[in-house]
Chains A and B, each alone.
Chain A
Amino acid sequence: MGRADAELERLVVDGIDAALGRPHRERLPAGSLLLEEGRAVEAIVIVLDGEVGLRRSAAHGDVGLAGSATGRIFGLTPLTLDRRAFFTCAAVTDLVVIRLSEAELDAALRADPALQVHFLNLLLRSLARRHRRTTELQVEVAQLNHWLGEQRDELAAALHDLEQAHLQLLASARMALMGELAAGLLHELSNPAGALARLTAHLAGDLEAAFADPDDELPARSFRQGRASAPPDTRSARRVRPALEEAVGDRRLADQLLAAGIDDPAHARRLLAALAAAPDPDRRLAELTRCHRLGRQLQMAEELIGRIGGVVTTLRRELQQGSPVAGDVGAQVEDALGLLAHRLRRMTVERTLHPCPPVVEPAEALAQVWLAVLASTVDAAGGRGRLDVEVGPVDEATVQVRVRCSDPRAGAVLARRLEPAAAGHDASAAHGAGIGLALSRHVVERGGGQLELLNDDAGTALVVRLPTAAAHPTPRTGTPRQGPGCASS
């Protein structure tokens, strides 16, 4: 309140005193209510001394109001409008006040035209102050709304981040569970697979010994031929069968000779001539067929056991802490290819693995990335065509892994899997593609690298670039940390 207001108030009080013969000065203790919100106002109150506070009730509690907008005369607005107080006015300190009824005010104003002017002037100044305050409040409300909008946007972004973190957590939990399952499975597989490999080797030795006969070398030779034979090729067997059938004059006999590993007509004729001298030629041929088949089946069993052993070895290395391939990206990618061997059988895989300097990101997290990148690409290509895997340094600061399939349509599938929303429910993850592409990109970017998708008419490539440890020499301290989706064993 400015000096002009104080001067006007003094003039008004002087005018009232002159007109009404100095009305009573009332002393009120602190806490007294001058006006009560919603209650009828019967008199105006002129505060001559002391401080008052204003408040108005709101939905969530009382709101304190600035008294500067009201001046020192209270109750004018209710008297002129609906006679009910708009806010509560209470004494903050002890007060000295004058109370005037409407009739007393009216009488004073009628008695002194100068008082009318002063009172009107004071009233106008009070209204002007209130109007200015209202405008200021509108500006404040606009600013608050803007601030609230910003807060809301920030909150939405935080919520989105939280959702992503939650999805990552779910994926991590799933991978941890898969890791535990894999560790259990590995334990169950490891010993039988090892024993099976040894048993097969012993079986081969025992069979060799059983067939060894200086007077009859044919069974041992058939067994060895079977064991050394390439996987049966149905097309070539069908191609040679007519000539064999023509040579021996019987289709079933030709089939039996093929089963005994004999596909050359001249050889077949010689063998049949030799068998003709045997006491029971049919039985002898059946015996030789059995020897060949034993060898071939043993060879297949060894091949399958070798495949299981390879998976077990790779899996064990993946699950062990302090993996021996830490930092060696080429070896990590080789391991991932080994784990996915069963899905690569129908693809032509070309590996170009150059020695790489160590990278920053821990091997456990990267192992999941390579698995996801390879498996996603294989899936997107439908498990067919050509797969080029290139690993090598771009320069001293960067190592690059490029996985390219020959199917340009794979790009659309991979683009979808790279979207963050795919993180929690990536179908590739559900089918053994590790943490999925979206989380892999997060892991790579967290380590200062990049994961991008390149697509052209000739194919689709996922390219991962990682900073080398030399480019980022800050050592990671403590035990290797658990990245998102790392299998825990």
Chain B
Amino acid sequence: MRELVILCVEDEPEVRTVLVRDLEPFARAARIEEMTDAAEAREVIATLATAGDQVGLVLCDHRLPGLRGVDFLVELQADPRTRAAKKVLVTGQAGLDDTIRALNEARIDHYIAKPWAVRDLQRIVRALLTDFVIEHADDLLPYVRVLDGERILEALSDRLDD
């Protein structure tokens, strides 16, 4: 895995700016790519795949131009390049049907309601990225100080035992 990437798909520039800023503590562990809509996200995913980078986490708004966030996450779940990525639906407006679809079909890992509390957002992102790197990263050491160090060290210990 060359570089870990977080995708932020949000069409409102102000909300996206705040989201990216709130994710800044993770910038040392993962590159943060921001995009406006699903089409742009698809282009970025293709570029990342070509470069060998891996999408570890997708934070996706529900009300995207032209496509609902949950439908895009379902699409990502079916795409081998992004199936393993942790998926978070960020919205204040998804209905019950959308939420059920997100859980069952997109296998979303979390649902964050807007407006979010920065502490909750960072706690969720830290836990999900930690899961991802434990499951998929060959080298865990770079993530010890940025993500959940205790769990990563346990995982390192388990790997040594194996």
Residues of A within 8 A of B (CB): 231-235, 238, 296-297, 300, 303-304, 345-346, 384
Complex CA gap A303/B12 in Å reads 12
What are the residues of chain A within 8 A of B13 when measuring CB–CB? 231-232, 300
Contact A297 B17 (CB under 8 A): yes
Complex CA gap A231/B16 in Å reads 11
List 22 contacting pairs A-B, 8 Å CB cutoff, sorted by A.
A231-B13, A231-B14, A232-B13, A232-B16, A232-B17, A232-B34, A234-B16, A234-B34, A234-B36, A234-B40, A235-B35, A235-B40, A238-B44, A296-B17, A297-B17, A300-B13, A300-B14, A300-B17, A304-B14, A346-B11, A384-B65, A384-B66
Q: Identify which of B12, B14, B16, B34 gathers the most chain A CB atoms within 10 Å of its CB.
A: B14
Complex CA gap A304/B14 in Å reads 8
Complex CA gap A384/B64 in Å reads 11
Smallest CB gap from A238: residue in B:
B44
Smallest CB gap from A346: residue in B:
B65
Q: A234-B35, A235-B36 are in contact. Are A303 and B44 (CB under 8 A)?
A: no
List the 4 closest pairs (A to B, CB-CB), nearest first: A231-B13, A300-B14, A234-B35, A234-B34
Complex CA gap A303/B40 in Å reads 25
Complex CA gap A303/B18 in Å reads 14
Residues of B within 8 A of A (CB): 11-14, 16-17, 34-36, 40, 44, 65-66
A365: min CB distance to chain B, Å? 30
Complex CA gap A405/B14 in Å reads 28
Complex CA gap A238/B41 in Å reads 12
Complex CA gap A235/B34 in Å reads 9
A234-B34, A235-B40 given. 12 additional CB < 8 A pairs?
A: A231-B14, A232-B17, A232-B34, A234-B16, A234-B36, A235-B35, A297-B17, A300-B13, A300-B17, A304-B14, A345-B12, A384-B66
Smallest CB gap from A296: residue in B:
B17
B73: min CB distance to chain A, Å? 19
Complex CA gap A297/B35 in Å reads 18
Complex CA gap A449/B51 in Å reads 64
What are the residues of chain A within 8 A of B14 when measuring CB–CB? 231, 300, 303-304
B66: min CB distance to chain A, Å? 7
Q: Identify which of B13, B35, B44 gathers the most chain A CB atoms within 10 Å of its CB.
A: B13
Smallest CB gap from A259: residue in B:
B20
Complex CA gap A231/B15 in Å reads 11
What are the residues of chain B within 8 A of A304 when measuring CB–CB? 14
Complex CA gap A234/B33 in Å reads 9
B81: min CB distance to chain A, Å? 18
What are the residues of chain A within 8 A of B17 when measuring CB–CB? 232, 296-297, 300
Complex CA gap A238/B45 in Å reads 13
Complex CA gap A296/B21 in Å reads 12
Complex CA gap A234/B9 in Å reads 10
B139: min CB distance to chain A, Å? 19
What are the residues of chain A within 8 A of B44 when measuring CB–CB? 238
